[in-house]
Structure 1
Amino acid sequence: MKTYFVDSFTNQKFKGNPAAVCIVETDIDNQLMQNIATEIGFSETAFIKYISRNNYSIRFYTPKKEIPLCGHATLGASKILFETSSLETINFINCENVELRIEKVDGKIMMQFPVYETTDFTVPEPVFSALGIDKALDARYSPKNKIILIEISDPGTLAGLKPDFVALINSYKGINGVLVTARSNDTGFDFHYRYFWPWAGTNEDPVTGGVQTFLTKYWAQKLGKTKFKAFQSSSRTGTMITELVNDKVFIYGEAVITFEGEFLS
């Protein structure tokens, strides 16, 4: 099985978020996909299989479980298909039969993702304590993604967070992760964010596209605009452009292929 490693949401190797992309020629069972994702150990591994023309199925696995949607692994899979074929557009179908339309725009890869709503949320004190946060400017919850969103006032504080992940995973049950975000204080970006998800994946996702299904709309309502430059202030860092268009969010990013090989049966 042909396998690639791709650094997504960056134009530099060893930055952004590494994803594994496996090209599935014949159906393989769920446990094997999980074993491969666990063996690789990246925050996500994508398995893509040809259906017809420019249509492909796509499945996403963290080292712990299958998830329905992942931005950086979709970007990585798109990069591989664009580099190894003559395709100009791609239609991915995920495990929930959601169509993810992909195309090349001005040297970047543009992904169309759905938009999901958020609800009011009161953050329990143990979550704040585990994150190292004193208070929030706002807090929301994404029921579809099972993610808590916390806005704080300072991007510098955000970049310096060093969560206690043992305490964090014990601070709240039944969620996939906690997203912390802050308005940017420079002109290069509109907002910064970090994503912690020891419940479902790794401790911290280096650069996260899937959260834009609700984060872009959140900032659109806060800032009164629809197009943004976003910066993820993890140790690897990463950037993307996002745009809210009706019930879709367009995510623009770059990616770099770092490895090509084969899994042996």
Structure 2
Amino acid sequence: MSLAISIIDAFTKEPFRGNPAAVCVLEEERGAEWMQRVAAEMNLPETAFLRRRQDGSYDLRWFTSTHEVDLCGHATLASGHYLWTNGQLRQDEPARFHTRSGLLTAERTEEGITLDFPAERAEPVNAPEELIEGLGLIPRFVGRNRMDYLVEVDSEATVRTLRPDLGLLARVEARGVIVTSKGAPGASPAYDFVSRAFYPATGTDEDPVTGSAHCALAPYWQRRLRKDEFLAYQASARGGELRIALRGGRVFMTGRAVTVLTGQLKV
């Protein structure tokens, strides 16, 4: 028996940029242990497993190479791209996903694929010692939500050149650490904010483009910049651009995706 599986680069329109995810549509129930083994074999930032319900919506689970996670943006965007590209949804039909973070939706728009995700506000906290030492700087702000620490630093240059001690960050009691700043003034494109995201505790030293991190970044920069719509950039080596709108406690993220590999998973 074999199952179709694809690798899709999300939050980019160019192959080999953005954030890669494997997407696999299951024909029957599979256990978490099996999914985790497949995700380890894929060895990508995330592997998404989909199973269609009778009403046309999908169960969706996300796994890194070592852990199942509660929320993932880029693999959700990749899942929607897969369903539309392979004719499993009509082009004008929204994708509905049942996940560990509730019902999430994705829609095709002129600018790409728009995800509807929950806002995950980071509240101010005292920074643990491992966080400060791991980043090697004095932050402007430290907050935490149910998943991650969010750290604001002084400039885009600091974000882009940061070389954290990943061993120390892995000891921080959180899924990961998001580092952000305002976009550099006068830059082109003019990004409202930039970020990077580190998840060594869950098997990903640095995530290329992290949709779920922007569930914390959007409400944070809404308060700081007093606006509801943003052009954001995640400044990893692969890089990725997101258009974001915050409305009624929901974060709407828009990006593109491109399939780079299709194949058969032997099971």
Structure 1 counterpart of 2:178: 179
Structure 2 counterpart of 1:150: 151
Task: Determine which of 26, 29, 32 is the counterpart of 1:27.
Answer: 29
Structure 1 counterpart of 2:99: 94
1:32-181, aligned counterparts within 5 Å?
A: 32-85=34-87, 86-88=90-92, 89-96=94-101, 98-132=102-136, 134-142=137-145, 144-145=146-147, 147-170=148-171, 172=172, 174-181=173-180
Root-mean-square deviation (Å): 1.3
AA of the residue aligned to 1:264: K
Deviations 1:72-112, CA, capped at 9 Å, x for gaps: 0000001011111124211111135x111111111410010
* Percent identity of paired positions between Structure 1 and Structure 2: 32
Deviations 1:148-192, CA, capped at 9 Å, x for gaps: 10000111111111122123223x2x3110100000013521000
AA of the residue aligned to 1:72: H
Q: Are residues 1:8 and 2:16 paired?
A: no
Q: Take 1:105 and 1:7, find their aligned partners in 2: how far apart are those partners?
A: 18
Query: Is the 8 Å Cα contact of residues 190 and 228 (structure 1) preserved in structure 2?
Result: yes
- Give the TM-score normalised by structure 1: 0.94
Paired residues in the alignment total 259
Q: Take 2:123 and 2:250, find their aligned partners in 1: how far apart are those partners?
A: 18
Query: Is the 8 Å Cα contact of residues 193 and 231 (structure 1) preserved in structure 2?
Result: yes
SS of the aligned residue for 2:95 comes to: strand
Q: Take 2:175 and 2:109, find their aligned partners in 1: how far apart are those partners?
A: 32
Q: Take 2:214 and 2:128, find their aligned partners in 1: how far apart are those partners?
A: 24
Query: Is the 8 Å Cα contact of residues 81 and 87 (structure 1) preserved in structure 2?
Result: no
Query: Is the 8 Å Cα contact of residues 7 and 257 (structure 1) preserved in structure 2?
Result: yes
- Give the TM-score normalised by structure 2: 0.93
Structure 1 segments of 4+ aligned residues over 3 angstroms from their partners: none
SS of the aligned residue for 2:13 comes to: coil
- Mean CA deviation greater in 117-126 or 45-54: 117-126
1:235-254, aligned counterparts within 5 Å?
A: 235-254=237-256
SS of the aligned residue for 1:37 comes to: helix
Consecutive unaligned residues in structure 2, runs of 5 or more: none
The verdict on how the C-alpha distance between 1:82 and 1:109 changes in structure 2, with shifts beyond 3 A counting, is: same
SS of the aligned residue for 2:266 comes to: coil
SS of the aligned residue for 1:52 comes to: coil
Query: Is the 8 Å Cα contact of residues 54 and 87 (structure 1) preserved in structure 2?
Result: no
Structure 1 counterpart of 2:262: 260
SS of the aligned residue for 2:151 comes to: strand
Consecutive unaligned residues in structure 1, runs of 5 or more: none
Task: Determine which of 202, 205, 216 is the counterpart of 2:204.
Answer: 202
AA of the residue aligned to 1:176: R
Q: Take 2:115 and 2:175, find their aligned partners in 1: how far apart are those partners?
A: 23
Displacement after TM superposition at 1:128 (Å): 2.1
- Mean CA deviation greater in 63-72 or 84-93: 84-93
Q: Take 1:205 and 1:231, find their aligned partners in 2: how far apart are those partners?
A: 13
